[in-house]
Chains A and B, each alone.
Chain A
Amino acid sequence: MRRLPPIGHIIFILAVLLTGFLIENTYYFQLLVFVGIHTLLALGLNMLMGYAGQISLGHAAFYGIGAYTTAILTATYGFSPWAALPCAVLLASAVAYVVGLPTLKLSGYYLGMGTLGFGMIGFIVFREWSSLTGGSSGFVGIPPLEIGPVSFYSGRSYFFLVWTVVLGIIILCRRLIDSRTGRALRSIHDSEKASRAIGVDTMALKLRVFVFSAAVAALAGFLYAHFVTFISPGTFDFLASVRMVTMVVIGGMASVWGALLGAFLLTLLPEWLHAFSEFEMVVYGLILMGVMIVLPRGLFRGLLDVFEGAREQTAKRSGGVNGR
């Protein structure tokens, strides 16, 4: 049973291959690359929110650290992107460690407060340190990615690159959740006191998950920077952090596929809402509130619950008939 790759992964690979070869439109490829990058962000944050039970309101700053580090190292200092990648991920992880260490010592949602402050400071640094980051007018001239003779310049090749990374992170997350660490994490989510009583070092674990989610966000930032080749601080502001949290919550916390669904919906929703033109924000806000009120466990779990509830009722009805 365990040896076989889970059915979800096979469906996922088939879906990616099919879309990759069937779509011709560059605009769709561009959208799907963004969906992939947002999925990465949601996956990392999902580990923190769904399993460690903490919220981060400044994740866009880690995304930005990833993007700006690789941009500065490659465009200003002429590094190869593949040498800049570990630097970006390491820098984001180190910063996450420093931000997380004091706030995670406290119980409650202090990490959320701390990351809110940190995220705003990150945004201000990107905007104001213009000699390094290009300031509010942005950073241009980030080179595209290449592996040997293969250049990831077209929409299709970048699409495959991003979604391969997404698959890798999905598998990593699931392995992590099924490991000893993952079980400890889930126990923290259910009851921090109980897990501490049976000897789980809750603070160290929460810190590790926070650093992991920051590293994944930096990886997403790296992919973003080399795809659009132009970055500006507006991409990494407070609203971006909020949007990431929203993806996780709308899709469904503590579920890898929920993160994927949330990233999909929230990336495509603004595209659909363009039809509403000036009512766009109103509709976006209403959808956000509506989903939370009707399905507080997120769309993925919520729809599963509705489906299972219906099946149970049918089972009950037919069971009742058979019982007599």
Chain B
Amino acid sequence: MQEVLQYLFSGLTNGAIYAVIAVGFSMLYSATDLINFAHGEFVMLGSLFLVTLWGAWQIPLPIAFLLTVACVALTGLLFERFAIRTVRKPQPIVLVIITVGASIFLRGVAMILWGKDAYSLPPFSNQPPLELAGATLLIQSVWIIVISLLLVFGLHLFYRRTLTGKAMQATAISKRAAWITGIPAGLMVLLAFVMSTGVGAVAGMIIAPVTMCSYDMGTLLGLKGFCAAMLGGIGSLWGALLGGILLGVLEALGVGLISSALKDGVAFILLLLILYFRPGGLIGAAESARF
């Protein structure tokens, strides 16, 4: 029982990270119908920027946190301006290849800037681990879960309560109709890129103390985040949260109770199952024809 609780804790921690990555996928997808295969690389950039700003240069954590988000979001902005917007006939397949090219490019840049070594960071704060019913919960796990919940809740408020958020949702439903009503649709797409990559950076920063940060950490994280987004129903904020947590918990239980060979497989088995039985995701239309 204690063991299961311990698996549950580690599952929740990983799940919260997958959820934040999935939110990034979902935000961009709903605004642009684009699956960004470079998203994992923005997560990686978040980790490595924090390694430099907080770990090496000793900038206070809150400031380093904001600076990292700003740097990564700026990268996302440049990516949209120079790579995505310059395509004359934006067919989905061409855009997908461009994001794949961008992911290789970003990984290459990170390898040059940070080298091939892996870095580690201390937890965000130095409290002892919590003891709950015989299982321990690392303080960084608390940080991860709290930050991801705050992020999802904050985004929910942004979409529901602010004019910009509503304009973004309108753009997601129909770019042309939004443009006719006076919404600067192009700007909204740019904003979606900036916010999605910024959210990716947050995922990278909260995971940094519990993993080894290196230039090639992004690919698998990105793919698993994508699985989580599909699991919950891509395009839905709460779906991304649900999918991420579910994926994290099932992965931890699969590894703990069945076999560690399953570690990376669980996400993709779930992806196939959800495509077979409920392609719209757990939250969302039963049959979806988008993308």
Q: Hey, which chain A residues are within 8 Å of B92, CB to CB?
A: 109
Task: Given the known inter-chain contacts A107-B289, A292-B98, please indicate yes or no for A114 contacting B275, CB distance below 8 A.
Answer: yes
Task: Given the known inter-chain contacts A106-B289, A281-B105, please indicate yes or no for A293 contacting B86, CB distance below 8 A.
Answer: yes
Q: Is B3 an interface residue (CB 8 A)?
A: no
Closest to A290 in B: B101
Inter-subunit contact B98/A289 (CB<8 Å)? yes
Inter-subunit contact A109/B291 (CB<8 Å)? yes
Inter-subunit contact A281/B107 (CB<8 Å)? yes
Q: Is A242 an interface residue (CB 8 A)?
A: yes
Nearest-neighbour CB distance to chain B for A163, whole angstroms, equals 27
Nearest-neighbour CB distance to chain A for B31, whole angstroms, equals 18
Q: Is B89 an interface residue (CB 8 A)?
A: yes
- CB interface residues, B 90-122, toward A, < 8 Å: 91-94, 96-98, 100-109, 111-112
Nearest-neighbour CB distance to chain A for B291, whole angstroms, equals 5
Inter-subunit contact A108/B104 (CB<8 Å)? no
C-beta contact mask, A90-130 vs B, less than 8 Å → 1, else 0?
A: 00000000010011001111100110111011001000100
Contact residue among B101, B272, B291 (Cβ-Cβ distance under 8 Å from A288): B101
Q: Hey, which chain A residues are within 8 Å of B105, CB to CB?
A: 281-282, 284-286, 288-289
Give the docked Cα–Cα distance between A77 and B230 (Å). 41
- CB interface residues, A 248-282, toward B, < 8 Å: 249, 253, 278-282
Q: Is A245 an interface residue (CB 8 A)?
A: yes
Give the docked Cα–Cα distance between A280 and B105 (Å). 9
Give the docked Cα–Cα distance between A249 and B94 (Å). 8
Inter-subunit contact A116/B223 (CB<8 Å)? yes
Inter-subunit contact A293/B98 (CB<8 Å)? yes
Inter-subunit contact B265/A289 (CB<8 Å)? no
Inter-subunit contact A102/B276 (CB<8 Å)? yes
- CB interface residues, A 232-248, toward B, < 8 Å: 238-239, 242, 245-246
Closest to B234 in A: A113
Give the docked Cα–Cα distance between A121 and B289 (Å). 25
Inter-subunit contact A113/B271 (CB<8 Å)? yes
Task: Given the known inter-chain contacts A108-B289, A109-B92, A124-B264, please indicate yes or no for A284 contacting B100, CB distance below 8 A.
Answer: no
Q: Hey, which chain A residues are within 8 Å of B223, CB to CB?
A: 116, 120, 238
Inter-subunit contact A124/B265 (CB<8 Å)? yes
Nearest-neighbour CB distance to chain A for B211, whole angstroms, equals 19
Nearest-neighbour CB distance to chain B for A296, whole angstroms, equals 5
Q: Is A65 an interface residue (CB 8 A)?
A: no
Q: Hey, which chain A residues are within 8 Å of B98, CB to CB?
A: 288-289, 292-293
Inter-subunit contact B87/A293 (CB<8 Å)? yes
Q: Hey, which chain A residues are within 8 Å of B93, CB to CB?
A: 49, 55, 249, 253
Give the docked Cα–Cα distance between A248 and B94 (Å). 11
Inter-subunit contact B101/A289 (CB<8 Å)? yes
Q: Hey, which chain B residues are within 8 Å of A128, CB to CB?
A: 261, 265
Nearest-neighbour CB distance to chain A for B61, whole angstroms, equals 31
Contact residue among B87, B91, B271, B291 (Cβ-Cβ distance under 8 Å from A117): B271
Contact residue among B230, B261, B269 (Cβ-Cβ distance under 8 Å from A113): B230
Inter-subunit contact B290/A108 (CB<8 Å)? yes
- CB interface residues, A 62-76, toward B, < 8 Å: none
Inter-subunit contact B108/A284 (CB<8 Å)? yes
Total interface residues in chain A, CB < 8 Å: 41
Inter-subunit contact A292/B87 (CB<8 Å)? yes
Task: Given the known inter-chain contacts A282-B109, A288-B101, A293-B87, please indicate yes or no for A117 contacting B269, CB distance below 8 A.
Answer: yes
Closest to B38 in A: A285
Inter-subunit contact A117/B289 (CB<8 Å)? no
C-beta contact mask, B274-291 vs A, less than 8 Å → 1, else 0?
A: 011001000000011111
Closest to A246 in B: B97
Q: Is B36 an interface residue (CB 8 A)?
A: no
Inter-subunit contact B88/A296 (CB<8 Å)? yes
Nearest-neighbour CB distance to chain A for B76, whole angstroms, equals 15
Q: Hey, which chain B residues are within 8 Å of A284, CB to CB?
A: 104-105, 108
Q: Is B219 an interface residue (CB 8 A)?
A: yes
Q: Is B143 an interface residue (CB 8 A)?
A: no
Among A117, A124, A238, which residue has the most Cβ atoms of chain B within 10 A? A117
Q: Hey, which chain B residues are within 8 Å of A113, CB to CB?
A: 230, 271, 275
C-beta contact mask, B166-201 vs A, less than 8 Å → 1, else 0?
A: 000000000000000000000000000000000000
Give the docked Cα–Cα distance between A99 and B109 (Å). 36
Closest to A135 in B: B261
Nearest-neighbour CB distance to chain B for A322, whole angstroms, equals 33
Give the docked Cα–Cα distance between A239 and B220 (Å). 11
- CB interface residues, A 208-242, toward B, < 8 Å: 238-239, 242
Q: Is B227 an interface residue (CB 8 A)?
A: yes
Give the docked Cα–Cα distance between A241 and B107 (Å). 18
Inter-subunit contact B106/A285 (CB<8 Å)? yes
C-beta contact mask, B105-147 vs A, less than 8 Å → 1, else 0?
A: 1111101100000000000000000000000000000000000
Residues of A within 8 A of B (CB): 49, 55, 99, 102-103, 106-110, 113-114, 116-118, 120-121, 124, 128, 238-239, 242, 245-246, 249, 253, 278-289, 292-293, 296
Sorted nearest first, the 3 A-B pairs with minimum C-beta distance are A285-B105, A281-B108, A288-B101
16 A-B pairs with CB atoms under 8 Å apart are: A103-B276, A108-B291, A113-B275, A114-B272, A116-B268, A117-B271, A120-B223, A238-B219, A249-B94, A278-B111, A279-B108, A281-B107, A284-B104, A285-B108, A289-B102, A293-B98
Residues of B within 8 A of A (CB): 83, 86-89, 91-94, 96-98, 100-109, 111-112, 219, 223, 226-227, 230, 261, 264-265, 267-269, 271-272, 275-276, 279, 287-291
Beyond A107-B289, A249-B97, 7 additional pairs, beta carbon < 8 A: A109-B92, A121-B269, A278-B112, A285-B107, A287-B101, A288-B104, A289-B105
